Each structure stands twice: as C-alpha cells, then as structure tokens.
Amino acid sequence: MNKTEIIQWLQERDQAKLAELFLQADKVRKESVGEAVHLRGLIEASNICSRQCRYCGINADQGHSIPRYRMNLDEMKHCALLAQEYGYGTIVVQAGEDYGLTGAFITDFIKWVKANTPLAITLSLGERSEAEFRDWHEAGADRYLLRFETSDTALYQNIHPPVKGQKHHDRFEILKQLKGIGYETGSGVMVGIPGQSYDILANDILSFQNLGLHMIGIGPYIPHPDTSLGKGENIIEIPASEQVPNNQMMTCIVLALTRILCPETNLPSTTALSTLSDEGREQGLNCGGNVIMPNLTPIKYRKLYEIYPAKSCIKEDADMFNKQIKDRIEAIGRTVGTGRGDSVKFTNKC
C-alpha cells in the first residue's frame, strides 16, 4: 500500500468500505499471528518525570500539582508475582523518565524476575543511555518500548520542549540502537494530536514498516486539561480539513492499516482506546489487535499515573479485570494467549 492509498483510507468515511478494511485487517491478523490475545501485566513504576511533553498529565511541568511516587523493589516484585499468578506471559515496566529509577535498581529487578518467574520483561522507561539499555538487556530484559509519537520534526519539537542542557534525542536512532542490542523493539504514536495532518499520520504508518518494529502501540490522543496542549496553547495551526480527529473510528483505521502493512507485529488494543468507550478493547482486537495490557499497578498509585484523564483502568481491581478480560476475549471468538507471546516478527528474526 502506498502513501496515497494510506491517506485515502485515513480520509474514508463510508462505513461499508471501512467495515471491509477492518475485515481485511482481521484476516491478516488471523493468518499472521493467530487467534491468541496476549496479556501483558502493566506496572507503572514511577510517575516522576524529567520531561515536559506537552500532552502528558505527569510531565515535569505539573510540578507539585500531583503527588509523585516511585515504587520500591518489594512492590514491583509483588506486581510481577501477580502477573505470574494470572498466567500473563509478560510484565511491562513503564514510568516517567525518572533517573531516580537507577540503572542498577532496574537491573536488580530484572535479575530477580528472571531468577524467580518465567515472565518476559518489557521496559518502557523513556530515553535512557545506551549503557543502560545494554546492561538491562544483558540482565535479561527482552523488549523495549519507546513511542516516537510523530515522524514530523516540527510537530515533535512543538510537543516535546527540549530538556534544559540536553540535545533533542532522535528517537528513530534510539529505536535502531535498541534493535541492534537485540531487544524486541516497540514504538508507536497517538492519533489526533493537534497539528497532526493526514499526511503526517501516513508517514508515521510508513515509518512503522520501515523501522521493522516488533510491537506498535497506537491510541487516541486524549486532551489533559492540566497540560498546555490540553489547554489549546501554542498549537500548530493546520486547516481543519487536514487535522486528524482523535476519535475511536480514526484509531481503528490506523490500527487496521498498521496490521495490513506490518502483518507479524504485536499490536495492542490500548487502554486509551478503551477509555473512549467501553467496547473500545474489543473494537481494537477486531481490527488488527492481538495484545491487551491489564494494569497491575497498586490501586493507590493508579490515579497518580493519569497521563490522560479518566483512564479506563483507574479504579479497576486487577483481580476482577483479570477474570473479566478472559471472558471478553473468548466472547469475541478469540483465545487467551499462553506463554510469553513473543512477536512472530522477532522470532522470524527480522
């Protein structure tokens, strides 16, 4: 599929044609990665962040308006054991870009998980040093997630003010570095950030393919009222007809196109999508998705990790969600994944 065709699909509003696109994506998903929906237990390890990303509710500019937390080793071990108890194959350790989560602390946790559980480990800790990426991989970390958020340089710089004294890191370079180290490498974007045109989004989707990603996270942009982007400040003005909407249908179109272009990748039906509507999770699974990330963060921390408002998992009890999600997966004719759920693309060594 070329860029013109991608843009045509992004602008398609005929429901019957879109239903065909979703069916095609579902068929590709079935043939390439099968019926299994892999469950990854999410651990939101710290809401401390040194970055000022203008869309994110836990950015450094939020200052003291939200209490900050950093989980200790015991709390993290508890989450990992919960993942094992629920039969999840993977834990995803996510946090703000918090340098207080030191390289050594993360290494200790990885070593403990590897010595005591069969879990695969995905890290999503932002832009860290190459030495840390290497140490963590050596300690046993399997995967690394770093969304590039947008392939457009001007938009990237608009929404990510540089941290004082730091040069702008090139996330495409970091992703190549991660792949080179041997990680299953994931990235992704938000759909409908102010200033994101159909042209930019088509380039994002082509970048997924060019980067040869093993995992791709795609969710709608949800404005956070306490962020400058959420307040509508300093937004890149583009004609209304070119602005990508941040709704459920558009997110599903992007998921479907991504599945068709990157057949063997792991594609989560994201929490952001399920935040827009209750049946968002199933919709994501029906148009290309094959992964769900149940939240295992202790309830007392969840509301402090509000990267966007009304996050669907904020009050969900991990135990209850675990029982419900398995029924919901089976209700749409899919199976609950067993084992680690490595990316077929990674296992095929490309």
* Location of structure tokens 């999508």: 273
Identify whether the C-beta of residue 145 lies closer than 8 Å to the C-beta of residue 215: yes
CB of 308 to ligand 5AD, least distance (A): 4
The alpha-carbon radius of gyration of the chain (Å, integer) is 19
Q: How many Cα atoms within 13 Å fall on the side-chain side of residue 7?
A: 12
Decide whether 21 or 158 has the Cβ nearer to ligand 5AD. Answer: 158
Question: In this chain, which of 96, 103, 192, 219 binds ligand 5AD, going by CB under 6 A?
Answer: 219
Q: Which is nearer to ligand 5AD, 47 or 290 (CB)?
A: 47
Task: Indicate whether 71 belongs to the interface with ligand 5AD (CB under 6 A).
Answer: no
Q: What is the dihedral of CA 335, 349, 266, 322, to 10 degrees?
A: 50
Q: Output phi, psi for 205, to 5 deg.
A: -65, -40
- Amino acid making up residue 285: L
Beta strands in 178-232 (DSSP E): 184-191, 215-220
Q: Which of 70-78, 217-225, 231-239, 333-341 is the region at the interface with ligand 5AD (rule: CB under 6 A)?
A: 217-225
Q: Which is nearer to ligand 5AD, 28 or 200 (CB)?
A: 200
Query: Please, what is the minimum distance in Å from the beta carbon of residue 146 to ligand 5AD?
Result: 8
The nearer residue to ligand 5AD, 270 or 286, going by C-beta atoms, is 270
Write out the DSSP string of 155-170: HHHHHSPPPTT-PPP-
Residue tagged 């500019």 (tokens): 61
Between residue 128 and residue 157, which ones bind ligand 5AD under the rule CB under 6 A?
147, 149
Quick check: 291 binds ligand 5AD (CB under 6 A)? no
Contact range with ligand 5AD by CB under 6 A, out of 111-119, 165-173, 216-224, 237-245:
216-224
Among 221, 301, 305, 321, the residue binding ligand 5AD under the rule CB under 6 A is 221
Letters for 185-214 (x = contact with ligand 5AD by CB under 6 A, - = none) are -----x------------------------
How does strand 90-95 pair with strand 335-336? unpaired
Q: What tokens appear for 100 in the block?
A: 């207080």
**How many residues comprise the chain?**
350
92 neighbors 122 (Cβ within 8 angstroms): yes
Q: SS3 for 127?
A: coil
Q: Under rule CB under 6 A, how many of the chain's residues touch ligand 5AD?
A: 12
Q: Candidates 77-85, 200-208, 218-226, 331-339 — which segment interacts with ligand 5AD by CB under 6 A? A: 218-226
Residue choice 42, 56, 83, 202 for contact with ligand 5AD (CB under 6 A): 56
From the CB of residue 30, how many other CB atoms can be counted at a distance below 10 Å? 12
- Residue with Cβ nearer ligand 5AD (301 or 308): 308
Residue 272 as a binder of ligand 5AD (CB under 6 A): the answer is: yes
Q: Distance (Å, rounded) from C-alpha 181 to C-alpha 183?
A: 6
In the bound state with ligand 5AD, the residue whose beta carbon lies nearer, of 295 and 326, is 295
CB 35 within 8 A of CB 291: no
Closer residue to ligand 5AD in complex, CB, 28/46: 46
Q: Which stretch binds ligand 5AD (CB under 6 A): 20-28, 195-203, 219-227, 316-324?
A: 219-227
Q: Can you name the residues that pair with 191 across neighbouring β-strands?
A: 220
* Phi and psi torsions of 307, nearest 5°: -65, -30
What is the rounded CA–CA span in Å between residue 129 and residue 132? 5
Selected range binding ligand 5AD among 71-79, 156-164, 220-228, 276-284, rule: CB under 6 A: 220-228
Where along the sequence are the contacts to ligand 5AD (CB under 6 A)? Answer: 55-56, 147, 149, 190, 219, 221-222, 224, 272, 307-308
